[in-house]
């Protein structure tokens, strides 16, 4: 049993992985610290629900607006230069946010912070496969998911404690320090990705990746008969599940009678489940196994949400949230491995930017949809309905992907036997 839960540590033999993963995990915790601090600050400033909604939209807009150009930059320019610029912008944005005296200036700082994230996200998508090689992509993504599942709730807890004890400015400066550590780590990374320079040095060619524009990443996904059905399955599922998040606090606090302290345990449950899911996903390899994990993981997560909607007590609900987070962790890690291994190296940044932007778009739509439905139906009904609809979308749209992966295995096996 112990061996079953061991995560393959082979990726840690790479020097750059030992720099990248800890530094990115620390910055993710810092990002969570900043987000919780900003939400608490917005509440205390009395901006109301519209102000909080504006803050959440500001967090999503940069990734949506730049998903075409960010991917193009990641697939063209030097990875170190892009990472340095993007992370430095995030450090400056957090320092600015620590000073900003008004809600309007806070929105400006949030846009700058997420603009930096929109720039560096696709760069990591293209750089990490270069570091670990094709065979290590699944493991490194699983490690990244597992560490992130721990970092996010810890960072959120730190943000709450710091805000309550010393105020918003020190908390945001602590977050800035975590990004400064990531900036330092970037300067020590040896692996670099600079496709335009590589193309020029290859037989004197000046060719660079031809894909550009907002829909370029979607076009790459659409050309893959295994990945495309999974992508179509995840779009409605994301909207359904994110919409459920809009009424989660009402189900836990009002329907199930959870105290604020008990409600906070939900973050720990999500972290524990995420680590478990990443550990299980790291045991997988191969397109067919990843597709099964994506479909099965997200379908199980949606089913868990539907069951949680009928939970008789908060503690039953909390246990189901561990299951939901574990299943979603498996699906996320497997989906990341599937997409990155099947995407050509020259287009990984473009695809990564498109996926991030589309996910953020779905989140914004889901927040509005969940809030609207939440005024018309009870929290239990939203959980049950959203979970069942999400599960149906995953199973119906994802099944063709599994069949396509199975068809690809047949000629590959025949060729190997020959």
The alpha carbon of residue 88 and the mean position of all alpha carbons in its chain are separated, in whole angstroms, by 21
Alpha-carbon gap, residue 21 to 165, rounded angstroms: 30
pLDDT band at 96 (very low <50, low <70, confident <90, very high): very high
What is the C-alpha end-to-end distance of the chain, expressed in Å?
37
pLDDT digits (tens, 9 = 90+) for 266-283: 777 777 787 788 777 777
pLDDT digits (tens, 9 = 90+) for 391-411: 888 888 777 777 776 676 545
pLDDT digits (tens, 9 = 90+) for 288-317: 778 888 888 888 988 998 898 888 888 898
pLDDT band at 415 (very low <50, low <70, confident <90, very high): very low
Mean pLDDT is lowest, of 87-91, 190-194, 227-231, 373-377, for 373-377
pLDDT of residue 172: 94
**What percent of the residues of the chain are helix, what percent strand, and what percent coil, each to the nearest 5?**
85, 0, 15
Pick from 394, 57, 387: nearest CA to 241: 387
Q: pLDDT: is 287 or 111 the higher one?
A: 111
Kindly report whether the global pTM for this prediction surpasses the value 0.85: no
pLDDT band at 205 (very low <50, low <70, confident <90, very high): very low
In angstroms and rounded to an integer, the radius of gyration of the C-alpha atoms of the chain is 21
For domain 9-197, the CATH class is mainly alpha
Alpha-carbon gap, residue 89 to 81, rounded angstroms: 12
Residue 285 in this model has a pLDDT that exceeds 90: no
Residue 416 in this model has a pLDDT that exceeds 70: no
Domain 9-197 matches domain 213-418 at the CATH topology level: yes
Domain locations along the chain: 9-197, 213-418
Pick from 148, 90, 53, 146: nearest CA to 363: 53
How many Cα atoms within 13 Å fall on the side-chain side of residue 218?
A: 10
Tell me which DSSP letter residue 252 carries.
Answer: I
pLDDT of residue 207: 46
1.10.8, 1.10.150, 1.20.1250, 1.20.1630: CATH of 213-418: 1.20.1250
pLDDT digits (tens, 9 = 90+) for 24-82: 999 999 998 998 888 888 877 877 656 766 777 788 888 877 777 877 788 788 889 99
Mean pLDDT is lowest, of 126-130, 144-148, 375-379, for 375-379
Alpha-carbon gap, residue 95 to 93, rounded angstroms: 5
% of the chain beyond a pLDDT of 70? 81
Mean pLDDT is lowest, of 66-70, 123-127, 240-244, 260-264, for 260-264
Across 201-215, average pLDDT: 51
């Amino acid at each position: 049993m112990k061996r079953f839960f061991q995560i393959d540590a082979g990726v840690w033999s790479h020097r750059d992985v030992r720099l990248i993963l800890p530094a990115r995990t620390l910055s993710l915790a810092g990002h969570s610290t900043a987000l919780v601090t900003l939400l608490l600050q917005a509440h205390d400033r009395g901006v109301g629900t519209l102000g909080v909604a504006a803050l959440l939209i500001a967090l999503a807009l940069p990734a949506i607006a730049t998903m075409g150009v960010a991917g193009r930059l990641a697939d063209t320019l030097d990875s170190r230069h892009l990472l340095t610029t993007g992370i430095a912008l995030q450090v400056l944005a957090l320092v600015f946010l620590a000073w900003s005296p008004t809600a309007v200036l806070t929105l400006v700082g949030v846009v700058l912070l997420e603009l930096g994230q929109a720039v560096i996200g696709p760069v990591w998508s293209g750089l990490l496969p270069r570091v670990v090689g094709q065979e290590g992509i699944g493991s490194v993504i699983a490690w990244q998911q597992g560490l992130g599942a721990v970092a996010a709730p810890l960072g959120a807890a730190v943000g709450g404690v710091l805000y309550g004890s010393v105020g918003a400015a020190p908390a945001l400066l602590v977050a800035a320090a975590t990004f400064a550590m990531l900036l330092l780590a970037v300067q020590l990374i040896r692996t670099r990705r600079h496709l335009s320079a590589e193309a020029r040095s290859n037989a004197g060619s000046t060719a660079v990746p031809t894909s550009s524009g907002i829909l370029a990443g979607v076009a790459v996904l659409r050309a893959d008969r295994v990945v495309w059905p999974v992508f179509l399955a995840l779009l409605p599922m994301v909207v359904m599940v994110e919409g459920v998040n809009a009424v989660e606090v009402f189900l836990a606090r009002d329907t199930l009678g959870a105290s604020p302290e008990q409600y906070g345990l939900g973050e720990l449950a999500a972290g524990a489940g995420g680590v478990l899911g990443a550990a299980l996903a790291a045991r997988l390899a191969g397109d067919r196994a990843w597709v099964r994990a994506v479909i099965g993981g997200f379908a199980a997560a949606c089913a868990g949400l539907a069951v949680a909607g009928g939970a008789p007590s908060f503690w039953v609900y909390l246990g189901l949230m561990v299951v939901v987070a574990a299943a979603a962790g498996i699906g996320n890690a497997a989906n990341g491995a599937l997409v990155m291994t099947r995407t050509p190296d020259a287009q990984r940044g473009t695809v990564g930017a498109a996926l991030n932007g589309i996910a953020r778009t779905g989140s914004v739509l889901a927040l509005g949809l969940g809030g609207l439905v939440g005024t018309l139906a009870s929290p239990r009904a939203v959980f049950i309905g959203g979970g069942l609809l999400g599960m149906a979308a995953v199973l119906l749209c994802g099944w063709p992907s599994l069949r396509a992966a199975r068809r690809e295995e047949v000629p590959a096996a025949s060729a190997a036997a020959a």
